[in-house]
Amino acid sequence: MEFFYDRVEDWRDKLGRVDVVVNEWLKVQKNWKILYNIFLLSEDIRMQLPEDTKVFEGVDKEFKEMMADASANPSVVEACTNERKDILIGWSQAIKKCEKALNDYLEQKKKSFPRFYFLSN
């Protein structure tokens, strides 16, 4: 009976880790999707925010590699490792830094062109 409870605890831990990693993964994916067109396809942003563009390009490259790896190995339990959780948290912080720089840039533009205050970021 003790063996059964150990296996239940093991699965509970695995599923808890999967929950945390998948939620972080979805957050990174959502923010990556929003910023992809802005940082990689907008020449104005690339010129005005070159350092943040490089940060985003790094996240973009690594994120795409992780997605290809996950596609090649579709086991969710194996994909949701603690190492991957740490990587995703790092990307999330890098993306937040890029978002902050972008919002600061847009705020400067709004000061120069007041009609932009009617538009959301």
Across the range 34-49, mean pLDDT stands at 93
Question: Where are the alpha helices (H) located in 1-121, listed in sequence order?
Answer: 2-41, 43-48, 50-72, 76-79, 82-112
For residue 65, the model assigns a pLDDT of 96
pLDDT in tens, 48-102: 999 999 999 999 999 999 999 999 988 999 899 889 999 999 999 999 999 999 9
Domain ranges of the chain: 32-118
Distance CA 70, CA 67 (A): 5
Q: What is the DSSP letter of 110?
A: H
Q: Are 57 and 40 in contact (CB under 8 A)?
A: yes
pTM: 0.83
Is a pLDDT exceeding 60 seen at residue 1?
Answer: no
Identity (one letter) of the amino acid at 38?
I
The number of CA neighbours under 13 Å toward the Cβ of 35 is 31
